[in-house]
Amino acid sequence: MCRSLRRRGWCIAALCSTAGLGAVVEADEFQFIARTGWPAPYGSGVQFNQFLANGPSLPRPQIAYSGATSFHAVLSGAGVNASNRLTISRWSQGGIDPVWRQGDQAVGLPFGVQFTGVSRLSMNDAGDVSFIGSLSGIGVIPGVNDRGVWVAHTSAPGLSLLAREGSLIALLGYPTSMLRRLNNVELAGPGELGPAIVTCDLDVPDLGNGIGGVVVQSSGGFNVAAIANMQLPDALPNTFILAATPLVSAGGIGGYQCSLTGSGVGQVEVSGVTIITDRALVSGYAPDLRTVARSGWQAPTEPVGVVFWHVWGGSARSAVSPAGRIVFSASLAGPGVDSSNWWGIWQEVGAGLTRMLRYGDVVPQVGATVAGFTLPSGASALAADEDGRVVTTALLAGPGISFSNNAAIVCIGEHDCVVVARAGSAVAGLPSGVVFQNSSFGLGARFGRAGHVALAARLEGPGVSTDNDVAVMLWSPEAGTLARVCREGDRVGPYRVLTLSHTGGDLQVNGQGRIVFSATVLDTREEPESAMSRTAVLTAAPGEAARIIAVEGAAVTVGSEQVMLRTVRIGTAGSINDLGHVVLAAAIDPPVPLDEAVLRVGIGPAPPPCPADHDDSGLLEVSDIFAFLGDWFAGAADFDGNGETDVHDIFAFLAAWFAGCPA
C-alpha cells in the first residue's frame, strides 16, 4: 500500500506508466491546395514542383475572403525549362486555374509576345487577381510597349488583357487615347465600375501627353476617375490636377492625394507662414470630384483664419476606411497656432470633416497631451476601421512623461480617446516593472478592419534578457484592453517560444480580431543537447490564448493522410482571411523525393481548458503528474479550490487526469 505521501507519488507514477495517455484534441482542419507532383493547368504532363523557393524565395500564398487562394509555383515535367517554369495560379472550390506563366504567349496580344515577369500582384475579397506583366518577343520595345495589365476574374474563366503600354486605350467620354506608362494596379470589390483601378500616364487629345490618370475598369473600356489637366470643380478657375494617387479600400477609391497646377494655384500668407496651395485631398469620381482638404484652405473645424498647411506628403498621413472614408493628418497655420497645436487628424464624415485629434488634446487615461504623431522609433501609423474609429501613433507630453515613456498608440472614437498601448508603463499580463521599450515602440503595430490592434514589441525591465524581450499583444475595441498573446520564453503546448519579431514581421490581423504570426520554437520533449529550433505558425483571438497551428517537425492530418512538416512559411500579408482560414507554404518530410505543398488551415474553436494538463504541454502525460506533485509538495496545488493544498487535491487531480481532456 502507498501510505506515505512520497510513496503515494511513486505509486501514482508507476500506475501512469501503464495507462493510456490522451492528447488534447486538434480542432484545426488542413487541406491541400496544391502539392508537388499534382497536375498543373499548364499543359499535358506538367506538374507542380516547388512552392517555397526558386533560388530566391517565392512569394507566399494569399487567401481572399471567398477562400480563393493565389500562389506562386515552379513547374516540372514535359517541356518545362528555366525560361518557363515560374507560375501564378489560383485555387477555388472549382479547382486550380492558371493565372500567369513565365514564357507563355501573353493573352490578348499578337503571337510571339511572351510573359517574362510579373509585378503589382493584387487580389480582392472575391478572389479576382490582377497584375502588371512584363513582356518580350516580336515587336516588343523596352520602355515603350513592354508591359501590360491583366485581370483573372473568378466569375469568368481565363485571363483578360485590360491595357498595354504603347497601345490605344478606351477612356469612356474621352477621345481615343494612348497608354504611355503603367504605374500601379489595385483591386477593389466587384461593382458597377469594375474592380481594377489603374494608375498610369496617358496621351489624351486636348488634355496633353504623358499626363497622369486614375482609370477604373469598365465593360466598355475604362472610366476616368481622376486625370491631370482636369479642372478641380470646387476650386478657382484654372486650378488643374497635375497628378493623383488613389487611396483604395475594398469598396473602391476613397479619395486621392492630388498635386495641383495652373494659375488658380498660388500662395497665401497666414500668420507669417507662406503656404503654396498646390496640394489637396480629393474624393469622388470625375467629373464629380470634391475637395476634402487643401493647403491654404480654411480648416472647417477650426476658428476662422486657421488653414491647412501640409495635407499629404512628408509627415502627413492619409488612409481610407473600409467604408471609404478618408482619414488624414495635416498641419495647420493661423491665429493661435504654434508648435504645441499645429497638427491634427481629421476624418471625412458625409460631406464634411470631423476633427478626431489635435496636438495639445488631453488623453484622459494618462493625463498627458498629444505632442506628435511620429514616435521615437520612427513609427508613424494611421488607420480607420469600419465603425468610424481612428487608430494612430501618438507622442505624449506632460507631467511624468519622459523619453522612456512618451510613445503610445491611441484609438479615437466618437466621444473618447483611449490608450491602446504605451511604452514605459505597466502592461497587463507582464510582470511588475516589465514595460514596452520606448525607442522601438510602434514598429510592430498592425491594424484590423474592425479596429483590432495586434502589436509586437520589445520589452525591458526586471528579469528581461535576450531570451524573453519580445512579446505579441492584442487589443480589442470591444473589451478596450490589451491582452498578452505570447512572449519569448513562454510555453505554447509542448513548445517553448524562442524568438519573435519585435517589428511584426509576418504578424497579421483579420476583420474578426484573429491574428496569425510565426515564431521560432523549441520542443521541450526533446533532450536539451539535441533540441533544434524550428519555425511555428501561431494564432490567437480576443479571449483566446495563443496556440500553434503548424510547426516544423510535427505531423498534421490532411484529409486521410498524415504528413510531417519539414518547413512552414507564411507571407507578410494576405495569409489569413476574415473567415479564419490561413494559407501557408510547406515542405514535407522526407526531403527526398521533393515534396512541397500549399496548405489551407481552417482554424477551429480553441480547445477547452484541460486542468489536468498541469504543465501546459498540450498533452496528458506522466509529466503532468510529476509537475502537479512538485507543486503539491510546495503547497501550491489547490486543485479542488477549497483554499487548501491537501490530500484531497491529489485525488481530485487524478480523477481529472484519468478522465482526460474535454473533447
DSSP code string of 102-139: TTSBPTTS-TTEEEEEEEEEEE-TT--EEEEEEEEETT
Would you say 581 and 598 are in contact if contact means Cβ atoms under 8 Å apart?
no
CB atoms near residue 605 (< 10 Å)? 11
Range of the domain at 655: 1-24+609-663
Say if 617 falls within a structural domain. yes
How far is the C-alpha of 84 from the C-alpha of 167, rounded, in Å?
A: 26
The pTM (predicted TM-score) of the whole model is 0.88
When comparing pLDDT for 627 and 454, which is higher?
454
Give the chain's largest Cα–Cα span: 102
Burial of 332 (0-12, 13-18, 19+ CB in 10 A): buried
Angle between helices 622-633 and 5-16 (to 10 degrees): 170
pLDDT of residue 191: 59
Q: Going by C-beta distance under 8 Å and a sequence separation of 6 or more, which residues neighbour residue 632?
A: 645, 649, 650
pLDDT of residue 194: 61
**Residue 16 pLDDT exceeds 50:** no
pLDDT of residue 591: 87
* Nine-digit cell string for 330: 495635416
How far is the C-alpha of 190 from the C-alpha of 208, rounded, in Å?
A: 31
Across residues 114-128, what is the average pLDDT?
A: 95
Across residues 198-214, what is the average pLDDT?
A: 96
* Nine-digit cell string for 388: 468610424
Name the pairing type of β-strands 29-35 and 267-270. Answer: unpaired
Residue 501: name the closest of 458, 548, 550, 545 by CA: 458
* Tens digits of residue pLDDT in 293-336: 999 999 999 999 999 999 999 999 999 999 889 999 999 999 99
89 has which bridge partners?
71, 98
**Residue 454 pLDDT exceeds 70:** yes
| Of 59-68, 185-194, 497-506, the least confident | 185-194
pLDDT above 90 coverage of the chain, percent: 80
Across residues 636-648, what is the average pLDDT?
A: 83
Across the chain, what does the average pLDDT equal?
A: 92
pLDDT band at 433 (very low <50, low <70, confident <90, very high): very high
Across residues 230-236, what is the average pLDDT?
A: 96
Across residues 118-125, what is the average pLDDT?
A: 95
pLDDT of residue 170: 95
* Tens digits of residue pLDDT in 135-176: 999 999 999 999 999 999 988 888 999 999 999 999 999 999
Residue 201: name the closest of 220, 177, 219 by CA: 177
pLDDT of residue 11: 37
Say if 634 falls within a structural domain. yes
Say if 384 falls within a structural domain. no
Say if 626 falls within a structural domain. yes
Say if 386 falls within a structural domain. no
User: Is residue 356 left, alpha or beta, with left meaning phi > 0 and alpha meaning psi from -120 to 50?
Assistant: alpha
* Tens digits of residue pLDDT in 329-353: 999 999 999 999 999 999 998 879 9
**Residue 14 pLDDT exceeds 50:** no
659 has which bridge partners?
none
- Number of structural domains (the chain) is 1
Say if 653 falls within a structural domain. yes
Would you say 599 and 614 are in contact if contact means Cβ atoms under 8 Å apart?
no
Say if 387 falls within a structural domain. no
* Nine-digit cell string for 112: 510571339
Say if 1 falls within a structural domain. yes
How far is the C-alpha of 97 from the C-alpha of 75, rounded, in Å?
A: 14
**Residue 9 pLDDT exceeds 70:** no
pLDDT band at 663 (very low <50, low <70, confident <90, very high): low
343 has which bridge partners?
331
User: Is residue 525 left, alpha or beta, with left meaning phi > 0 and alpha meaning psi from -120 to 50?
Assistant: alpha
**Residue 246 pLDDT exceeds 70:** yes
How far is the C-alpha of 360 from the C-alpha of 304, rounded, in Å?
A: 19
* Tens digits of residue pLDDT in 591-637: 889 999 999 999 987 777 788 888 777 678 898 898 889 888 988 78
